[in-house]
Amino acid sequence: MQMGQGAFGTVISALDQDGQMIAIKTIKIDPKFQNREADIMKKLDHQNCIKLKSVYRKKADEGEVFQYIVMEYMPTSLGKFLGNCKTTKRPMIKQSIKHYAQQLFKGLEYIHSLGICHRDLKPDNVLIDPKAHTLKLCDFGSAKNIKEGDKSTADIGSRFYRAPEILLGCTHYDFSIDIWSAGCVIAQMLLDGNVIFAGDDNNDQVVKIMNIMGCPSEEDANSFEHPLPWPTAERTTDLTLLFPPNTESKLIDLLTAIFSYNPKDRPTATECLKSPYFQTMKSSLPFLKVSRGNFS
């Protein structure tokens, strides 16, 4: 059964020899493209990262080579779950958002400690089990080990979740681009599945950010290389007005810090986990039933 399809391959669910559910990602090998996914996943061993079971390659009759990545099974993606929230107009409960956000940062803290930047964090690349309220990062097809001073492509990630420096063509970036993306994912949970910054192209995406976060100071605007110019835009709202009235002020404070234009001003994943927002966690949660929709 097909579970999803991304830029780098398709994912199906299946049963292994022991009758356990697994997920299998099929990737067509392109000699001109360096796919690091399997190598990255071999390094991962954390409860908030999808677990690699095995990886192998097969040659098709036409001569094409396919890679098969066998992973643990998770019921759905956060993207599909949020799509259901949006369709049914039933918001996520606040404690569920907090639990998922905490696990999101724990996963990022772990991969960043290994020097790995995900570079394509979005709801579709986050797997969840709504009954158990567990979350795991997945789809490491764009992930890369990065070090300070490394040059990397700016043509990475999905537009709605790209940090300003990526949108403006910066090729020397760090783990803070994942933190920005995580902020966008959390905001989307607060907004019942609606994207917080939804631009028509990279330039308009920066405009949409500026409409909410205001214009950067001269210092922030020049805090990273940007081959592309900053657009002109005005602030039309802010996070306090944008989110539901019952949104915790501590979460708004955290997201305000995350959505800093200067990458060095954004909190690390470890610092996010120390936010006062996470100091009031409930140990258990009721099962969140959004609808009877199909999450497969």
- 294, part of any domain: no
Contact predicate 171/151, CB 8 Å: yes
What is the model's pLDDT at position 192? 94
Query: Known catalytic residues?
Result: 120
- Does residue 284 sit within a domain? no
- CB-based contacts of 193-202 (< 8 A; 24+ apart in sequence): 193/82, 193/83, 193/84, 193/85, 193/86, 194/86, 195/160, 196/242, 197/160, 198/160, 199/159, 199/160, 201/159, 202/159, 202/162, 202/167, 202/168, 202/228
286, part of any domain? no
Number of domains in the chain: 2
* pLDDT digit string, tens, across residues 228-261: 999 999 999 999 999 999 999 999 999 999 999 9
277-296 pLDDT, tens digit each: 999 876 655 544 444 343 43
Give the predicted TM-score (pTM) of the model.
0.92
Structural domain range at position 176 = 76-279
Q: Are residues 115 and 262 in the same domain?
A: yes
CATH code of the domain in which 56 resides? 3.30.200.20
pLDDT tens sequence across 90-143: 899 999 999 999 999 999 999 999 999 999 999 999 999 999 999 999 999 999
Summarised one tens digit per residue, pLDDT across range 266-279 is: 999 999 999 999 99
Is 291 within a domain?
no
Whether residue 59 sits in one domain with residue 174: no
Regarding whether 126 and 43 lie in a shared domain, the answer is: no
Is residue 290 a part of any domain in this protein? no
Mean pLDDT of 215-225: 97
Q: Answer yes or no: do 197 and 216 share one domain.
A: yes
- Reading phi first (left if > 0) and then psi (alpha if -120 to 50, else beta), residue 153 is in beta
Q: Is residue 166 part of a domain?
A: yes
